[in-house]
Amino acid sequence: LWHRLFTDAHHAVEAAATLPQVDASRITVTGVSQGGGMTIAAAALNHRVIAAMPDVPFMCHLQRAVGLTDAGPYPEVVRLLHTHRDEAEQVMRTLSYFDGAALARRAQAPALFSTGLMDTTCPPSTVFAARNKWGELADAVAAPGTVTSPRPVAEIRVYPYNGHEGGEAYQWREQAAWLADLLAATPS
């Protein structure tokens, strides 16, 4: 399932780039929760993305999330490992292929993350893990023939009194201002 979703995230960017009303040189991606995870995947897997705004992204630092929270879907992994303890290493290795923190390393565009400190679905430390890894491998994964810049900036907005809803309308205003500044500095 996740492999297909990540592939679809890449293809969605490619499809958007073909639309006549889209400036293919200024594609940005955003999403909340699972959509935040897909935002990370799109930015990591497609060099057309010039900005990413993952809000309370799901599927980040899965090993920590499994040991930290009993909010769904992590209990499913816990139940599996409760009865199959000897498979923990293999399960975590398999999950690592779909981990937003691992994918974030491949990102080449700036990002604006958000997290709610009371979020049990996407615990803040897992969001920070993705943000902290953002762009580590940018030079290694650059599209052939492109000149890469230094590691892309990854900012984060923290909402101390919010859970999985994140910053909601306040974050949307933050995103609009951040994106306006970014696009003003980016030639079209």
Q: Which of 84, 96, 119, 149 is catalytic?
A: 119
Q: Which of 75, 77, 1, 63 is nearest to 38 (CA)?
A: 1
Active site residue 114: no
| Contact yes or no for 121/58 (Cβ under 8 A) | yes
Q: What is the DSSP letter of 164?
A: T
Here the contacts of 176-182 (C-beta below 8 Å, separation 24 or greater) are 178/53, 178/112, 179/28, 179/51, 179/53, 179/112, 182/50, 182/51, 182/110
Active site residue 33: yes
Q: Which of 23, 164, 181, 188 is catalytic?
A: 164
Q: Which of 33, 55, 99, 114 is catalytic?
A: 33
**How many Å apart are CA 110 and CA 106, to the nearest integer?**
12
Active site residue 25: no
Q: Strand order of the sheet with strand 49-55?
A: 27-32, 49-55, 111-116, 154-159
| Contact yes or no for 124/82 (Cβ under 8 A) | no
Q: What is the DSSP pairing of strand 111-116 with strand 27-32?
A: unpaired
- Catalytically active residues, by annotation: 33, 119, 164
